[in-house]
Amino acid sequence: MSSLGGGPPLDEGDLPVAIPEPVDPADVARSGVGTDEWVARVDERRAAQTGISGLIARTWERTPAFGRLVILLGPFAIFPFITNEGNLYRYGLITIIYALLAMGLNVVVGFAGLLDLGYVAFFGFGAYLYGIMASGHSGHHLQAEIAIPIVVVSTALLGLLLGLTSWRLLGDYLAIVTLFFLQAFVIFVNNANGGLNDFSYPFVGKVDLTGGANGLDQIDPFNFFGFHITTTRGYYFYTLIALALLMVMLYFVNGSRTGRAWRALREDPLAAEVMSTPVNRLKLLAFMFGAGVAGFSGTIFGAVQSGAFPGDYDVGLLITIYAIVILGGLGSIGGVVVGALVVNGAPELLRSSSNARFLFYGVLLVALFAALKPWYKAVIVLVGTIAFGFAVHGIASAVWSRGTAGHISGAGNFGKALEHWVLLPTNPSSIAGWSYFALICAALVLTLVSGWWRVAVLIPTFYLAAFVWENKLVEQVAGATRLILLGALLVVIMNVRPSGIFGTSRVEIV
Amino acid sequence: MPLLELRDVSKAFGGLQVTDHLTFHVDEGEIVSLIGPNGAGKTTVFNLITGIFHVDSGEIVFEGEKVSGLAPHKITDRGIARTFQTLRLFLNMTVLENVMAAEYGHTKATVLEAMLQLPRSRREEKRIRQLAEEKLAFFGQRLAGYRHDQQAYSLSYANRRRLEIARAMATNARLLLLDEPAAGMNPHETHEITELIGKLRDEAGYSILVIEHDMHVVEGISDRVVALDHGVKIAEGSFDQVATNEKVVEAYLGLHTAATK
């Protein structure tokens, strides 16, 4: 557009003569800096500057909504045909159940901006209620096509009750009350087994509702009009279809008056109220919507596990689901799917040491190039670290034969190459422990130096990190290391994309 | 019959009387300015009219019906819309969405209809999108087409003020309450806003109640001026009458200044 250079056509006749012009109009015409158009195009210019990631972002934005859905969920549809039952359950089914669950939270937290820390209780409520209506434990065996709608409606009503607190409470206060609700739920299901501590209900007396701490077992598989879903693959496709439908519906809602009102409420509740939005009603609607989705996901989880256990619906799951929503980008529908993939998939993948190794070096590399600017400094560190390693290894092989005697097993050519680079002493436990300590010290020193000193310190630090990894951390890869790595991965992702993978940067105060 | 009428309205926060037996009115098609020193209670009057605060005593009547006591969104639906002194746009929504969000009150499609894209929802969307574009077109080049899909935070300060006015217009209001529309603007932009307020009345047919500190603006636009001090109406009339009123001069400049001047 040619108007980038100048401001909008001003009617010169309207200008009072006495007003001083702050900027020489000729300058403005030349550069356009500071004009309305220039201010408005900040985003465009920023996008144009960032090479590959900018290109990906632009392509993504140009893809029509249905195309995006296919790109996001297509791989999930193919996945069952290229993997086995165990992997389909661990990587596939759990990921999409989490995605489905997080999609509902995204409405409450991402769209409407209500900090609901009791969300997981609705998930548990769904599983338990389905279990009460259809399980060997309770003795009732309701068809799924009747039980599921009952669960969804009841959970939504429960959401309405909890949502009532949001009329007066916002932010931290709402968080406290809803967290209390979650704890109350966990305590309730732990005790509602008709035992000594349990209530005596009116009319029926003491009833074993939830099985207490042992959980509600023998939940029926879904039975739709006599058609039973019994395999992991069956549940997988059922959930995937539900997820796809929900994403399409949310996409429509997001663009509708309700979605806009939710987002307006998130941005500024007072302004939304004065601009004709019944804010309280919309808060309740968001709570109900989220709770309904959580209840629906709960029925799937209960049926898949053929049981509901109190420990599954506690704060741990809450944090996982929040991590998914925040990592994906608050308010982004597609982001939730990617977030679920990372948060559920990554820890599972990390159980194998060769996967973990690739991820470790990958994270180091990405962090290096993301954090160290300009790029040539990162290249210097990379080349320097490689050269440093070979030098250390060369010296060590001449003077300290024990230091290079170790082997890396099961990592293919990459592992063989590493054997010539990193020191692998036999019986490394004590020296590895001290190096770990040294690594932490080096990381602390890094925060204190800057410029070329940082580059200089980074080289031995990276080598030390590799040494510690190969000699100490990799052994415990299924345990503590996995969580350290997951944490590091999340830190890197959140640094590269501060507002989530698919999130758009939010501006709070300008 | 006046469009908006405040009858003996009082409001206190604890022991502080912020609005004290205030009575004034705005007629159909009139531009009334509300002036007074900082802390005189002007914005409180706006908050009372729009239902953000509840009146302690007295009543506020719009088009012959009592609106005091209603929820803010209901008052907006009746036809009163406002802008804010400290801008309160939905910053992380697009310009068009900001305006469309204000049209919530005159749409009816439920969330279910939106999920399934039923005809009513689609019809309404089309209608209010068109309406929003019309409202934005009122500001000409300033909020022209290519801006519609940009986030509100990317707008310059003056354009944000314009967008707030567009948003208020989109509620289908008949009366606009503008809270310091010229605050923080350069002289050229102030001049533009002055013209715009005139246009809002003459071309778009709004009645306007405006809070303004810039006396050039007040002089340029007002049919009538109401001066407040400590929540009490101290003068009312044409700009010249109010500007020369002894009490008004005293409120702005102090007791003996007028005499020594």
pLDDT of residue A373: 77
Q: Summarize pLDDT for A271-309 with one digit per residue, the tens.
A: 999 999 999 999 999 999 999 999 999 999 999 999 999
Q: How many CA atoms lie within 13 A of B149 on its CB side?
A: 4
Binned at pLDDT 50, 70 and 90, residue A20 comes out as very low
Q: How far is CA A60 from CA A50, A54, A505, B127, B152, in A?
A: 15, 10, 16, 29, 22
Parallel, antiparallel, or unpaired: how do β-strands B16-26 and B4-13 relate? antiparallel
Strand ranges (DSSP E) for A300-423?
307-308
Binned at pLDDT 50, 70 and 90, residue A414 comes out as confident
3-state secondary structure A142-211: CCHHHHHHHHHHHHHHHHHHHHHHHHCCCCHHHHHHHHHHHHHHHHHHHHCECCCCCCCECCCECCECCC
**In terms of Cα–Cα distance, which of A103, A90, A84 is closest to A292?**
A103
pLDDT of residue A171: 80
Q: Summarize pLDDT for B107-132 with one digit per residue, the tens.
A: 999 999 999 999 999 999 999 999 99
Q: How far apart are the CA of A388 and the nearest CA of chain B, in angstroms?
A: 48
Closest chain A residue by Cα to residue B97: A260
pLDDT of residue B183: 87
* Euclidean distance between CA atoms B30 and B2, whole angstroms: 10
Q: How far apart are the CA of B118 and the nearest CA of chain A, in angstroms?
A: 11
* Euclidean distance between CA atoms B235 and B231, whole angstroms: 12
Binned at pLDDT 50, 70 and 90, residue A39 comes out as low
Closest chain B residue by Cα to residue A260: B101
Prediction pTM value: 0.83
Q: Summarize pLDDT for B245-256 with one digit per residue, the tens.
A: 889 988 888 876
CATH class of B4-79+173-260: alpha beta
Say what percent of chain A tops pLDDT 70: 88
Binned at pLDDT 50, 70 and 90, residue B27 comes out as very high
* Euclidean distance between CA atoms A454 and A443, whole angstroms: 10
Contact B92 A507 (CB under 8 A): yes
Q: Summarize pLDDT for B159-193 with one digit per residue, the tens.
A: 899 999 999 999 989 999 999 999 888 898 899 99
Whether pLDDT at A185 is above 70: yes
Asked if B153 contacts B126 with a C-beta cutoff of 8 angstroms, the reply is no
* Range of lowest pLDDT (A19-28, A138-147, A281-290, A439-448): A19-28
* Euclidean distance between CA atoms A199 and A189, whole angstroms: 12
B175: Cβ–Cβ under 8 A, 6 or more apart, which residues?
Answer: B3, B4, B26, B62, B79, B80, B81, B206, B207, B208, B209
- Looking at per-residue pLDDT, the higher value among A506 and A15 belongs to A506
- Looking at per-residue pLDDT, the higher value among A430 and A96 belongs to A96
Outline which parts of chain A fall under CATH 1.10.3470.
65-349
Q: Summarize pLDDT for B51-85 with one digit per residue, the tens.
A: 999 999 999 999 999 999 999 999 999 999 999 99
Q: At B175, which helix (H) or strand (E)?
A: strand B175-179
State chain B's mean pLDDT as an integer. Answer: 91
Q: How far apart are the CA of B226 and the nearest CA of chain A, in angstroms?
A: 24
Closest chain A residue by Cα to residue B187: A19
**In terms of Cα–Cα distance, which of B34, B93, B9 is closest to A268?**
B93
pLDDT of residue A85: 84
Contact A264 B90 (CB under 8 A): yes
Contact A279 B73 (CB under 8 A): yes
A residues 226..255 contacting B (CB < 8 A):
249, 252-253, 255
State chain A's mean pLDDT as an integer. Answer: 84
Q: Taking residues B24-50, report their average pLDDT.
A: 93
Whether pLDDT at B101 is above 70: yes
Q: Summarize pLDDT for A306-345 with one digit per residue, the tens.
A: 999 999 998 989 999 999 999 998 889 999 999 999 999 8
Asked if A381 contacts A455 with a C-beta cutoff of 8 angstroms, the reply is yes
Rounded to two decimals, the ipTM of the complex is 0.92
A residues 188..217 contacting B (CB < 8 A):
none
Say what percent of chain B tops pLDDT 70: 98
pLDDT of residue A12: 42
B residues 90..129 contacting A (CB < 8 A):
90-93, 97, 100-107, 109-111, 114-117, 121, 124-125, 128
Instruction: State whether residue A34 sits within 8 Å of chain B by CB.
Output: no
Q: DSSP characters for B210-229?
A: EE---HHHHHHH-SEEEEEE
Whether pLDDT at A200 is above 60: yes
Instruction: State whether residue B72 sits within 8 Å of chain A by CB.
Output: yes
Return the amino acid letter for A286: A
Q: How far apart are the CA of B115 and the nearest CA of chain A, in angstroms?
A: 5
Q: How far apart are the CA of B39 and the nearest CA of chain A, in angstroms?
A: 21
B residues 144..183 contacting A (CB < 8 A):
144, 146-147, 150-151, 153-156, 158-159, 167-168, 171
Q: Which member of A1, A8, A510 has the closest CB to residue B142?
A: A8
Closest chain B residue by Cα to residue A36: B156
* Euclidean distance between CA atoms B242 and B47, whole angstroms: 24
Length of chain A, please? Answer: 510
Asked if A273 contacts A279 with a C-beta cutoff of 8 angstroms, the reply is yes
Closest chain A residue by Cα to residue B140: A8
Q: Taking residues A95-119, report their average pLDDT.
A: 94
pLDDT of residue A16: 44
Parallel, antiparallel, or unpaired: how do β-strands B207-211 and B31-35 relate? parallel
All residues of chain B having their beta carbon less than 8 Å from the beta carbon of residue A258 are 110-111, 114
Q: Taking residues A381-406, report their average pLDDT.
A: 86
Q: How far apart are the CA of B88 and the nearest CA of chain A, in angstroms?
A: 6
**In terms of Cα–Cα distance, which of A32, A24, A26, A41 is closest to A6?**
A32
User: Cα angle vertex A251, ends A245, A256, to 5°?
Assistant: 125
* Range of lowest pLDDT (A229-233, A354-358, B249-253): A354-358
- On whether the A65-349 domain is CATH 3.30.70, my answer is no
Whether pLDDT at B21 is above 80: yes
